[in-house]
Amino acid sequence: MRLLLDTHALLWWFTADARLSVRAQAAIADEANTIHVSAASAWDIATKQRIGKLDEVPKAAERFAELVAADGFLHLPVSYLHGLRTGGYALAHRDPFDRMLAAQSELESMVLVTRDPAFSAFPVATLW
């Protein structure tokens, strides 16, 4: 299965946070699955660190590539097609990070690992 991690799932994986569901932990740990991390999550993490909302993972932005590589996860860049789909959603949901993750999940046929119920409004499969 191809999985795309929402930013909170990625951070909770990095910190072994108990808020990451048992099902999500098992799916991420399963070597049969391919785990992807979006460039949008790097942007989200850098933004949250800059405004002081990300104290639980010190230097996460600086160490982003190292942390992703350490677990064997794959980077998912943002393409113009992702951007067009993100901007084209007719939904009122305004979070640009969520919109991008939804577009990437949809267009790349990946299951989005998230606990955020807002994704139920998008045409994406989720796992939690």
Task: Please tell me the predicted confidence (pLDDT) of residue 93.
Answer: 79
* Helix, strand or coil, per DSSP, at residue 106: helix
CATH number of the domain at 70, please.
3.40.50.1010
Task: Please tell me the predicted confidence (pLDDT) of residue 70.
Answer: 95
Task: Please tell me the predicted confidence (pLDDT) of residue 54.
Answer: 85
Residue type at position 21: S
Task: Please tell me the predicted confidence (pLDDT) of residue 82.
Answer: 98
Task: Please tell me the predicted confidence (pLDDT) of residue 16.
Answer: 94
Domain that includes residue 121, residue range: 2-127
Each residue of 15-37: b (16+ CB within 10 Å) or e?
eeeeebeeebbebbeeeebebbb
Rounded Cα–Cα distance for residues 108 and 72 (Å): 19
Q: Residues 89-125: pLDDT tens digits?
A: 998 778 999 999 999 999 999 999 999 999 999 999 9
Q: Residues 11-70: pLDDT tens digits?
A: 999 999 999 999 999 999 999 999 999 999 999 999 999 998 887 787 889 999 999 999
Please tell me the total count of domains within the chain: 1
pTM of the shown model: 0.94
Task: Please tell me the predicted confidence (pLDDT) of residue 122.
Answer: 96
Task: Please tell me the predicted confidence (pLDDT) of residue 91.
Answer: 82
Q: How far is CA 1 from CA 28, 49, 61, 108, 114, in A?
A: 10, 31, 27, 12, 15
Task: Please tell me the predicted confidence (pLDDT) of residue 94.
Answer: 83
Q: Is the dihedral of CA 128, 13, 81, 108 positive or negative?
A: negative
